[in-house]
Copies of this chain bind each other. A is one copy, B any other.
């Protein structure tokens, strides 16, 4: 299919993006509830206008989830597009050059809160569907849309929604446009994310703090006991010593290791960028492998007793730590939380009481198999439009959506978006490149085509 429909309507698409960006759908602010609903309505209308069917904004305990589909491609795969129409708060307002909810175009960039995360990307698959339906009267695949309004607050309603609407959401593959690339010149698709699981560890050694002069030498110290627990989690050579922690971890293929290691930063560059004096971590893995493919445990915070100036000779009765792990296939947050709990129980000195409380913010690890047909489809679609092979992006961080889709709908997720790393996501003066907007529309048009013959 050629791109004449896109070219003809480009001005309108940009105006629509401006309209969408002008709705302050800040999901975290209770006073913006009306605006978040307005954005859900806007997305619903836009889907209908594109020719999608069964469009509805479904109420949840939080903000609405927008659904739409087109299911007339007999014997063809069904693709579920994911995105979110909510945005981060714009504060601090004084750091914006223009009003964050009055979009402004300058030098081929559109400025506004939500431009790169992810309202422009939300429009890409909608516009691609519209183009197919307008030009051909049909699509090469079946499509479903799932747009939530709570991504920026941790997607609290999404898992329940998926469970309650399993059959509605059945698909062969998901595509999330909540993605991007590191450099403007290099398209990319995200193939690997680490998961996340963590706990707060609470240690109690006495009913209350004690005077070290009166009791010191005979009573336990909560901070000391916590130090013992925390120290026991790691070996001196950088391995994780939590019992059974590596049990489920699978080694990456030689092909993938080679792929990662060819883009390895130089150790000195890595140290400089991190601002560290030395690197640590598991022996036998490169820095790239350590940060992208290996699980971690990190103390994110700890506190106990007196933190003020000078000296206070107290024996603290309580000590606390927050500990999170980055997970890799096939670890699960639940498994790791249970292993953390057992480890604390096994390694805490017996004279203290401990509590291990799971932290919110779980995410399953995710990896798109190297031989997944969707990966080939993306590569072909990008190549057709850009004459470049997209980079396979691996992220050491965590995005819950891929894990949720795998867990509740049972599908893999392709991650393809046209945001660039420098566009101020979550920051003032957020923007999006309009040439990426156009390019993205074309790639999504091609992607629908490429997916139609995929053997799922």
Contact = CB atoms under 8 A, between A and B. Distances in A.
B214 A291 contact: yes
A280 B219 contact: yes
B351 A300 contact: no
A396 B217 contact: yes
Interface band, chain A: 35 or more
A326 B236 CA distance: 30
A80 to B, nearest CB: 25
Interface string A286-298: 0100110011101
A321 interface: yes
A301 to B, nearest CB: 4
B306 A398 contact: no
A198 to B, nearest CB: 6
A299 B279 contact: no
B360 A216 contact: no
A210 interface: yes
Nearest to A292: B217
Interface stretch (A132-140, A200-208, A407-415, A443-451): A200-208
Interface stretch (A34-42, A43-51, A269-277): A269-277
Interface string A224-256: 101110111110100000000000000000000
Interface in A294-318: 294-296, 298-308, 310-317
Given A274-B215, A279-B218, A311-B359, A302 B304 contact: yes
Contacts of A287: 218
Interface string A317-330: 10111101010000
Interface string A345-378: 0000111110000011100000000000000000
A156 interface: no
B397 A324 contact: no
A283 to B, nearest CB: 12
A133 to B, nearest CB: 39
A262 B359 CA distance: 50
Interface of A: 194, 196, 198, 205-208, 210-221, 223-224, 226-228, 230-234, 236, 270, 274-282, 287, 290-291, 294-296, 298-308, 310-317, 319-322, 324, 326, 349-353, 359-361, 395-398
13 contacts: A210-B274, A212-B324, A217-B296, A236-B349, A277-B351, A277-B352, A278-B352, A279-B351, A298-B315, A299-B304, A302-B319, A307-B320, A313-B397
The 7 closest A-B pairs by CB, nearest first: A213-B397, A207-B275, A301-B305, A278-B351, A301-B306, A227-B230, A223-B299
Given A215-B291, A227-B299, 4 more contacts: A207-B276, A208-B275, A227-B302, A300-B315
